[in-house]
Amino acid sequence: MYEGSARTSSQRPGDNIVGMPRLFLVGFMGAGKSSVGADLADRLGYGFVDLDEEISKRFGAPIREVFSDRGEPVFRSAEREELQRLAGLDGVVVATGGGAFCSPGNREIIHRESGVSVFLDVPWHELRRRLAGDHAGRPMYDDAQQAKSLFGERLPHYRRAMIRVALEGTETPSEVSELVLDALQEAACGI
Ligand code: S3P
């Protein structure tokens, strides 16, 4: 389990760039939150946490099994508790699961202590393509039609993120990281 770094007065590499100690990547399944998050954390010299992995470790089972054996409500309350814990850490990039940012309570936890939410806005046609080839471990995916309707329901939630990074879906994780850093820089300059 990622325990985070102790608060310290010394600067982290990321402080020079954005001065934002806690980033939460949000967006639909397949948006690339985990791969971009790991790359971004590397560049910033931050820790990286995948929220689903933390939940999986907690139950000692893959997410699909947590859903099938214990049910979605148990998963969602673990998700909330893990978010709560991560919201207290400094210098981390967190890749959230696709449903995490759709709960107002979770959004409040994320934003409460100067956490910055970043929406990776990948168009549906690209998400559809990615999910068609990679949905085995995703209990919220039944088929393209159901996923499209879930995507439509969730978009208004994702749009509540502090920062939106508009993507074509053809970018590499490292290109997306660059775009996220640009957007963060712009947002910080505007404050
Ligand atoms: C979920 C998305 C998954 C995972 C869980 C629920 C969702 O994460 O948290 O299966 O509700 O959309 P990814 O977005 O990483 O697939």
pLDDT digits (tens, 9 = 90+) for 134-153: 888 999 999 999 999 999 99
Ligand 1 site residues (CB inside 6 A) read 29, 33, 52, 63, 97-99, 138-140
Confidence (pLDDT) at 21? 84
Considering the entire predicted model, what is its pTM? 0.90
User: Both tokens of residue 5?
Assistant: 């770094």
CATH number at residue 166: 3.40.50.300
At 33, which amino acid appears?
A: K
Contact indicator for 43, 15 with CB cutoff of 8 Å: no
What span, in angstroms and rounded, lies between the C-alpha atoms of 69 and 59?
11
Give the domain extent around 11: 2-189
Distance from residue 29's CA to the centre of ligand 1 (Å): 6
What span, in angstroms and rounded, lies between the C-alpha atoms of 4 and 12?
13
Contact indicator for 184, 14 with CB cutoff of 8 Å: no
Beta strand residue intervals within the chain, DSSP E: 22-26, 47-50, 92-95, 116-121, 163-166
pLDDT digits (tens, 9 = 90+) for 40-76: 999 999 999 999 999 999 999 999 999 999 999 999 9
pLDDT digits (tens, 9 = 90+) for 7-46: 444 444 444 445 568 999 999 999 999 999 999 999 999 9
What span, in angstroms and rounded, lies between the C-alpha atoms of 70 and 163?
34
Structural domain count, the chain: 1
Confidence (pLDDT) at 2? 56
What are phi and psi for residue 143, nearest 5 degrees? -155, 175
Distance from residue 27's CA to the centre of ligand 1 (Å): 9
Model confidence at 170, pLDDT cuts 50, 70, 90, reads very high
